[in-house]
Amino acid sequence: MKAAVAEFDQAGYAARMINRDELAKLAPNLNLGSFDAASFNALDGHMDPVHTTRKLLDQAKHLGADIVYPCKVTQLQFNGDRLSGVATTAGTYSLDRLVIAGGVDTPALAAQAGYTPPLIHAPGILVHTRRTKPLLGRVAETPHIYFKQHRDGRILGTDGYYAPDIPAHQGILQGPQEMAYELRQMHGQRILDKIKGKLHGAADAAYDHLTIGYRPMPQDRLPIVGFSPGNSDVYIAVMHSGVTLAAIMGRYISYEITSNKLIDELAPYRPGRF
């Protein structure tokens, strides 16, 4: 933890080690019991990714973009070695360049352009409560549970990155699929009970629903960003922290595509490194 704080600090990101008294002032309702160390990142925050995505799409439309949804890309089309367009369930579109930012579906699409980005299958579950009284104004990350509270009172949390290897999870561990209602209920209540044990005043927080997400996780857990090694008309953009990196990646990627100039900061994350 000290090493991580030092790295943040050297990068100009406000982070510091804190003691128990400081933690109590920052988050008085946290009940962490005995612990060895804690840190605080003053610039950390959180957002609702669905709401954020809608805002981004609204602004894109305002600036002249066409949003076609729902729509599935069925085939990339080429004229010789050059991309000519895509066939979709909403029709065929002519294109000069294609950016594939399709999350876990990126490998299947990119393979048509001669490149398959290596991703790790990484299912994740998130419990959502009904609205409750304000208890937490910070994002809490502990070794065994992560949780936060939105302004409307909903608490969201997860207790890890991978589903336990039990028979009921076999399908989920192999590939994206729906989770049975009973399994959702079980995991939702299990995670909520953990949160209640760490948060004073949350005893009345009621379980609402559980979501399961299939996150794009590059094999080395670093972004994959750049023109496809298989075709220079196709640009690949895969990262694990998509909503966190969206703003800076949007600037970088649009610059590289429109200027045909490469940005040095993205050099470690090119598709060809695998």
What architecture does CATH give domain 49-118+220-273?
3-Layer(bba) Sandwich (3.50)
Q: Tell me, what's the pLDDT at 164?
A: 63
Please give the C-alpha separations between residue 140 and each of 37, 90, 219, in angstroms, as whole numbers: 14, 43, 27
Given a cut of 80, whether residue 179 has pLDDT beyond it is no
Q: Are 81 and 231 in contact (CB under 8 A)?
A: yes
Residue 98 to residue 78: CA distance in whole angstroms:
12
Per-residue model confidence as pLDDT tens digits over 112-164: 999 999 999 888 889 999 999 999 999 999 888 999 999 999 999 998 755 66
Which residues is 157 bridged to in the sheet?
A: 127, 147
Please check whether residue 187 is in contact with residue 181, taking contact to mean a CB–CB distance below 8 angstroms.
Answer: no
Mean pLDDT of the chain: 92
Q: Please name every residue paired with 30 in a beta bridge, in sequence order, or none if there are none.
A: 199
Those residues whose C-beta lies under 8 Å from the C-beta of residue 72, and which sit 6 or more positions away, are 88, 89
* DSSP code at position 236: E
Domains in the chain: boundaries:
1-44, 49-118+220-273, 120-216
Task: Note the pTM of the prediction, 2 decimals.
Answer: 0.86
Q: Which residues are 91's β-sheet partners?
A: 88
Q: Which two tokens stand for residue 200?
A: 């004073």
**Count of positions (residues) in the chain:** 274
